[in-house]
Structure 1
Amino acid sequence: MTSAAWHARIRCGPRTGSGFLVTERHVLTCAHVVHRAESAAVDVTFAQLRGAERELTARVVGHGGWAGHDTDPGDLAVLELDRAVPLKPAEFAAPSDAYGDPPRRLIAYGFPHHYDEGTLAEYRATADQLIAGEWVQLEAWAGHGQPLAPGFSGAAVTLADTGQVVGMVSAAARRPDVRNGRMLPAHVMARYWPPLGALIPTPEYERHDKERLRALVEAVARQDRLECRPEQLYRDAVGPLGPPVPAHGFRSLWDAAWYLLSEVPDGAAVRRFTARLADFAAAAPTRYALRSWPPSGPDTRPGPRPAERPAWAPILVEIAPSGSGDDRFLVEVSVYNGRHRRLVGSRTLPAGRVRGYALERIDEAFYDLDPDARELIAFVLPRRWLNTDVARWARSADDDSPLGSFAPVVVLDLERRRSGMLQRKLTQQWRRLDTRDKGRLHQVRCDALGQDPTKLTVGLRSGGADIVGFGIPPRTDAGRRLFAASLNAPVPVLIWPRSGCRGGPSHTDCRGRAFLDRLTAHLADLPPGELPSFVHGLRQEAYASDGPEPHWAHDLALLWEDPRCLPDPVAYQHSPVG
């Protein structure tokens, strides 16, 4: 067979056009060639074949939404043959291969009147600029030869030296003395028929990568409720300095993904797109597959660690007011390996959906942890939520055991997390702590509620404590003021019981006092860097305890903040929720 064997003549009623084979049973042509396919059969003839094999019938199984006018976009139709043909389908060139300096010579194989076996026309692309985001202008290679004429519509435009397809003829000049026309580039055709994207070469990604991506994107698109817009996902993928959304917008999620693959130079942008899209997939396997796409790509996880005790690898859960209402919160779940941060999910949700969403994404974040990592779940909470018992949240819908029994759980204060001054001072404080075997504990007892909060802040800043232990929770105005005073100082650790004081006016039989006494005894020789593990062990004891009295640490809360293992995250700046 010659390289021209996959060119086809298309007849639909009185119209004759061209087409080309792209799979063993699919032919592409212009929509205007077969726009009467409902009332007339589509006949497909492969001129290079002989005998009964050359004549086939076909039906239209896909189209680009062409509305019927010459300047309407989407002039593409996909034909499915009644049987497979013994021909090797067309091969495609990369989108940029149609252009060059000097220009590349392009060949169109069409079937104008009186040319049943087809004829050739030589053209070149005027420029790589798309007209109306859809077409490339063609101009004749020379001032003589075959012009584009009726019958060339749907013809493959190929590179003269390789025979690879770069586009399809969609229109010719109305005047015979004007020798130009229009081509629908191959990468534009793939917007309208997604399977074509796998056949068109793109930088970095192979055919199987693109087929997998299309299947995943379409799985998300089929969801009954999809809470994201392609345009915003695209902006998040390219960043504020990346190419803008094209003027024609995006017809679908796949349209946005394909645009990133075929027209955006930054090869990593499509991976950022898949990671962001994953957060909106309803099925957990789909979310994980999107985050790990492409499966053939390099493994970005860190290699084996040395034999010494590894550093913390936190899963960060940040819950912040969204600004769109008192009952709505921005929830972001990230996972760290060293200073590398990967966003697992980011959604704006009503308060009632925060817990379920956070737990689901925490579970998925464990996929990204190095096997030797010391997992740590860190909740960054608004100050009014600091007393929320996140450690007792059921681990999952199928497991009622507390999250704090599964892994170390700590909380952080959202306001302090966002203060550059305090983060710097905390880092300096931890460097000093690294040189000591144990931390210094400052107690705030129940009978100290009347002390001056400002004096407490100044005293803690002077370096008198590394840990502040409270005998009371932040549930009263006085208690909250002392908590705020401690958070305004660079104290890395705060510990308190979530339940209130039970003692009388003298506090001689005070549960808060007993809590602090036990805490002091247990922390006497413990370095602050090991507190998450220590408290995790205490919680496991408390959750398993079945004695007549609650374990002294059954409602212990731990605020533990080391900025060195939680570097400032680079969060998405826009919400793609429509």
Structure 2
Amino acid sequence: MNSAAWHARIHCGQEVGAGFLVTPRRVLTCAHVVRRSDQDPVTVVFPHARELGELSASVVAHGGWAGGPTDPGDLAVLELEREVPLVPARFAPPDSAYTEPYPKLVAYGFPVGYDEGTLAEYRAVSGQLIAGEWLELVSWQGHGQPIEAGFSGAAATLPDGRVVGMITAASDAPNVLKGRMLPLDVLARYWPELGSLVPTPGHDTDVLRELYALLRRAAGAGRECDPNRMYVDAVGAFGPPLPAGGFSTLGAAAAYVQWEVPDPAAVDRFAGRLRELVDPGPPAPRAAPRATAAATAWAPVVVEIDHSGAGPDQVTVEVSAYRDGQRRPVGTRRLPRTGVRAYVQRRIDEAVAHLDPDAEELVTFVLPREWLNEAVAHWECGADDSTPLGCAYPLVVTDRARHRSGRLRRRLHKKWQQLDAGLPIEVHRVECGSQERPPSLRKRLWDGDAGLAGFAVPPAAAREHFEVGLNVPVPVLVWSRTGCPAAVHGEQPGAGCGHEDPRPAWSEHGQRRAGRPHTAVLAEAPSPCPGTAFLDQLTAAVAGVPPAELPRHVLSLRMTADAADEPDRHWARDLQLLWDDPRCFPEPAASLHSPVD
């Protein structure tokens, strides 16, 4: 201990405490010792190096301590006015304080009457943390110098002088020689840079040093990266889930990977991803563009909705994230239909954090057939973000029965293999008020090897035609959610063009019921059919776009419509995209039941 010149006495206003030098210019102490640093100067003295004199210091990092005796984060990092020529403290592995037999722990503090300092001897009661924050200490011999005011911020050291924690509190009860300390892994939670100084069993010291050097470089360069995605990428598909609330900084995520994730390779992966962020290297030569489904690395967030069986208004909602071919459930709940939107808004935000950072989000709503026309693309991102989901993410819908059909999944898989050539696809149009018999449409889609079917009206207005499109392996269906009003064609509501006719459109023999031909209706129309105009615009908009790129392309169309001077009049305002590539969902969820949250 005689050579431990790194022990420091801290003075701020009326507070006197201890601290310890961790780098030539940084000192750790308790946040409550320097609580008035915004009003009073902070000074530091090293009793074993009096020749350095009194040094001024400033608080450069704070653990978030809120001011109460049991509030977490009672840590402050001080930066001295200059570097000092002293050897900083050395650290022991984090569990050294509570490895059997429990060792003596020595603290160097500055209680009243001991400006030069004095020693207290304690030991840990157990390796069990109090409230996930503190290790409890008891007197080593049951007598001697108690931990009291002036010891806050002192290093708790092993007999060989290596640091295992920091003293933060003492018992208020008389004649009770107890105290508390923050162990090293908890200190690193609040000041991640400590992780590069503390030996961690199972981790390569050089890798840790590189990791924290990269963190400093990323911060200095202003590099932006989602720490939650970095964490998920580092721990892998079967690693510990993202902690509640996630991480606010890259440093916090790195510290958690170092201290809480049992797989040492996770630190290597985190450092590797960070290295790519800081040192991206020269861009690779660009090959000739070849957009294919296989080349588009979609990372789906799936929102699946189904009837719960608990009542006509009750549904079960499950939100999942797909990563490395594995489905990661985020939350499941039974809700009234009116509560679905708010629940989905919260859960999508959580699910995105589980995705591969290199892949692009694809929000997919798997809906009962009667919900397919729901305006999910217009739902806001959240209570504090009015951006429509369809303008924040590539967003598609699919039919729940189709999503779970083994026959259709197999055929769709084969169809996408054909579409991987990246060739543009034709829009197979289903016109407003079409007189085409459903069997004829089915044959047309089969014979034409259809990749995209466009509908001029929503599903309820052409139910039988939509069912054909859903039950034939056409990967992409597009329609206008609003269709066109019947008045445009001089018809009564319910006769087509966006209005559902309660009568079957076809007889049991497959013949069209008597009625005016569609051509005659169009002749009476005072203005062009909006459904036909929609299909014309759609055909022009997707010309030359490979089907794998349609979710991204439709995102652009929705953003353009939302930004228009008159958004409600833009043809793509109510565009609904059913896009179904089963390769994005290799592991469909089981049927929704027993909701938990």
Partner of 1:260: 256
Q: Secondary structure at the match of 1:102?
A: coil
Unmatched tracts of structure 2, length 5 or more: 281-289, 307-316, 330-340, 346-351, 378-393, 490-517, 523-528, 536-545, 553-571, 593-597
**8 Å contact 1:444–1:469 — kept in the other structure?**
no
- The residue identity in structure 1 corresponding to 2:399 is E
Partner of 1:421: 404
Q: CA deviation at 1:563?
A: 1.7
**8 Å contact 1:31–1:77 — kept in the other structure?**
yes
Partner of 1:181: 179
Q: Distance in 1 between matches of 2:480 and 2:147?
A: 83
Shift of the 128–380 alpha-carbon distance from structure 1 to 2, 3 Å rule, reads: same
**8 Å contact 1:159–1:166 — kept in the other structure?**
yes
**8 Å contact 1:153–1:171 — kept in the other structure?**
yes
Correspondent of 1:567 among 571, 583, 586: 586
Q: Secondary structure at the match of 2:84?
A: coil
Partner of 2:298: 315
C-alpha distance after superposition, 1:302-336 (max 9, x if no partner)? xxxxxxx994545367797999xxxxxx9x99998
**8 Å contact 2:452–2:474 — kept in the other structure?**
no
**8 Å contact 2:299–2:584 — kept in the other structure?**
no
- The residue identity in structure 1 corresponding to 2:398 is L
Partner of 2:7: 7
Q: CA deviation at 1:430?
A: 4.6
**8 Å contact 2:301–2:362 — kept in the other structure?**
no
Q: Distance in 2 between matches of 1:449 and 1:291?
A: 60
**8 Å contact 1:136–1:183 — kept in the other structure?**
yes
Q: Distance in 2 between matches of 1:93 and 1:184?
A: 14
- The residue identity in structure 2 corresponding to 1:315 is W
Q: CA deviation at 1:18?
A: 1.8
Partner of 1:24: 24
Q: Distance in 2 between matches of 1:181 and 1:150?
A: 11
Shift of the 415–564 alpha-carbon distance from structure 1 to 2, 3 Å rule, reads: same
Partner of 1:207: 212
Q: CA deviation at 1:180?
A: 2.5
**8 Å contact 1:260–1:270 — kept in the other structure?**
no
Partner of 1:44: 44
Q: Distance in 1 between matches of 2:298 and 2:128?
A: 45
- The residue identity in structure 1 corresponding to 2:177 is R
Matched, 1:137 2:136: yes
% same residue:
41
**8 Å contact 1:314–1:566 — kept in the other structure?**
no
Partner of 2:100: 101
Q: CA deviation at 1:449?
A: 2.7
**8 Å contact 1:446–1:472 — kept in the other structure?**
yes
TM-score normalised by structure 1 residue count? 0.54
Q: Distance in 1 between matches of 2:66 and 2:397?
A: 56
Q: Secondary structure at the match of 2:465?
A: helix
Q: CA deviation at 1:86?
A: 1.2
Q: Distance in 2 between matches of 1:82 and 1:531?
A: 62
Q: CA deviation at 1:216?
A: 9.6
Matched, 1:467 2:450: yes
Q: CA deviation at 1:426?
A: 2.8
Q: Distance in 2 between matches of 1:261 and 1:36?
A: 34
Q: Secondary structure at the match of 1:18?
A: strand
Shift of the 480–212 alpha-carbon distance from structure 1 to 2, 3 Å rule, reads: farther
Partner of 1:84: 83
**8 Å contact 1:443–1:468 — kept in the other structure?**
no
Shift of the 108–531 alpha-carbon distance from structure 1 to 2, 3 Å rule, reads: closer
Structure 1 range deviating more: 560-569 or 149-158: 560-569
Q: Secondary structure at the match of 2:47?
A: coil
Q: CA deviation at 1:46?
A: 1.3
In the comparison of the two structures, how many residue pairs are matched?
461
Q: Distance in 2 between matches of 1:422 and 1:182?
A: 60
TM-score normalised by structure 2 residue count? 0.52
Q: How does 1:360-375 map to 2 (within 5 A)?
A: 368=358
- The residue identity in structure 2 corresponding to 1:153 is S
Unmatched tracts of structure 1, length 5 or more: 222-227, 275-289, 300-308, 324-329, 344-349, 355-360, 370-374, 389-409, 517-529, 537-554, 574-578
Partner of 1:57: 56
- The residue identity in structure 2 corresponding to 1:86 is P
C-alpha distance after superposition, 1:260-318 (max 9, x if no partner)? 346633669999xx9xxxxxxxxxxxxxxx99446499x9xxxxxxxxx9945453677
Q: Distance in 2 between matches of 1:180 and 1:103?
A: 16
- The residue identity in structure 2 corresponding to 1:85 is V
Shift of the 97–491 alpha-carbon distance from structure 1 to 2, 3 Å rule, reads: same
Q: How does 1:232-247 map to 2 (within 5 A)?
A: none
**8 Å contact 1:312–1:565 — kept in the other structure?**
no
Q: Distance in 2 between matches of 1:366 and 1:261?
A: 17
Q: Distance in 1 between matches of 2:80 and 2:154?
A: 17
Q: CA deviation at 1:183?
A: 1.0
Q: Distance in 2 between matches of 1:411 and 1:75?
A: 44
- The residue identity in structure 2 corresponding to 1:265 is V
Q: Distance in 2 between matches of 1:39 and 1:10?
A: 15
Q: CA deviation at 1:126?
A: 1.3
Shift of the 140–497 alpha-carbon distance from structure 1 to 2, 3 Å rule, reads: closer
Shift of the 219–108 alpha-carbon distance from structure 1 to 2, 3 Å rule, reads: farther
